[in-house]
Amino acid sequence: MEHEGYSFYRQRIVEETGTTYYICSRYRVGCKARLIARDNAVRARNDHSCDEAVEAVEATQEAPAITDVRAEMRTALQEASLANLSLPPSLIWVRVMHSFREAYPRATLNTIPRLPSISIVKYTRTQATGSDAFRAIESVPTRNVAEDDTRPFLQFSVVHTVGCGQHRYLGFGHPDLVRLLRYSSSALYIDGTFKMVPRPFTQCLIVMIKDPGVDVYVPAIFVRSRIVETGANTNMVASGVDLQNRTNNPLESYNRTFGDRFSVKHPSLLSFVETAKEEGRRFVQLIEDVKQNRREPPDHAQNVEPHVPAEFEQFE
């Protein structure tokens, strides 16, 4: 039960009189606040000692009616669960509860508790995706750039069978950044990282390209690869470490920046997709700001063309 911004637990029900008694959720710290609900009306008893800033309800105040928002809240939970599949169920419940508290600031609300709300979110997502993350990223709205942009953020999803193992590759990229790959003679960097890689994938390849029009390096595409064979994994790790140690390209710093945007080391696939979308939109806005002279391009090292000494051009 929600009443004037406070949570109450049901203490007991008197069937003979149809009266329900509630206690403050902070009763363990000594709060004596109580609610008595009867005939769809509620009356408060005792002040909240858990929060001295709460004003005492006047004795002459008319008893407010209980507002049942459970059906409306169920719909809101279902819509929020499908709008962003990467959002944790508990966070969805917090946001939905906050929205209802803002919509009914002084009302006594009959809401859906936290655990049943989490079950509703999980069940809704299961019905929509079949608990298959790969199916989810290929479905609307996850595969789109944004709710108001129906262009595909998922560029490709392929599976190759090599021997007894499967190699799955997923490619993500903002269309406005992917088009930069069509430019000829562009500075292009490809690097692998093993951080922020959602299971069951083993590596993330990031293709970084320079937009010559604004002198900005942007991540054009993110490629997730899954290698089943142990030997292939070992070779990939060895190659990736060697490549990262030898290069001084923009990816070295960007890999760290991109990894810092995740709260866990190995996020879920859906969480990775949503974060990559935000990165794509951020760089698209960066390019637009530079074009409109709203900001300067970020600093970066100058391009260096490799030079082969004359004595190495010919060998005897």
Co-location of 286 and 143 in the same domain: yes
What pLDDT, on a 0 to 100 scale, did the predictor assign at position 236? 38
- Counted residue by residue, the chain has a size of 316
pLDDT band at 112 (very low <50, low <70, confident <90, very high): very high
Assess whether pLDDT exceeds 90 at residue 270: no
Give dist(CA 234, CA 240) in Å, integer: 10
**What residue numbers bound the domain in which 163 lies?**
136-291
Structural domains in the chain (count): 2
Residue with more model confidence, 242 or 191: 191
Residue with more model confidence, 302 or 167: 167
Closest CA to 250 of 298, 196, 181, 287: 298
Q: Which residues contact 264 (CB under 8 A, 6 or more apart)?
A: none
Instruction: Tell me the mean pLDDT in the region 164-193.
Output: 82
pLDDT band at 311 (very low <50, low <70, confident <90, very high): confident
Closest CA to 268 of 199, 220, 217: 199
- The encoded tokens of residue 83 equal 């709008």
Assess whether pLDDT exceeds 80 at residue 157: yes
| Residue 258 forms part of a structural domain | yes
Co-location of 166 and 41 in the same domain: no
What pLDDT, on a 0 to 100 scale, did the predictor assign at position 230? 42
Instruction: Tell me the mean pLDDT in the region 208-229.
Output: 77
Tell me the pTM.
0.56
The listed range with the strongest mean pLDDT (148-162, 250-264, 294-308) is 148-162
What pLDDT, on a 0 to 100 scale, did the predictor assign at position 163? 73
| Residue 311 forms part of a structural domain | no
Co-location of 247 and 164 in the same domain: yes
Co-location of 115 and 163 in the same domain: no
pLDDT averaged over every residue in the chain: 79
What pLDDT, on a 0 to 100 scale, did the predictor assign at position 148? 86
Report the range of poorest mean pLDDT among 47-51, 77-81, 116-120, 241-245. 241-245
pLDDT band at 19 (very low <50, low <70, confident <90, very high): very high
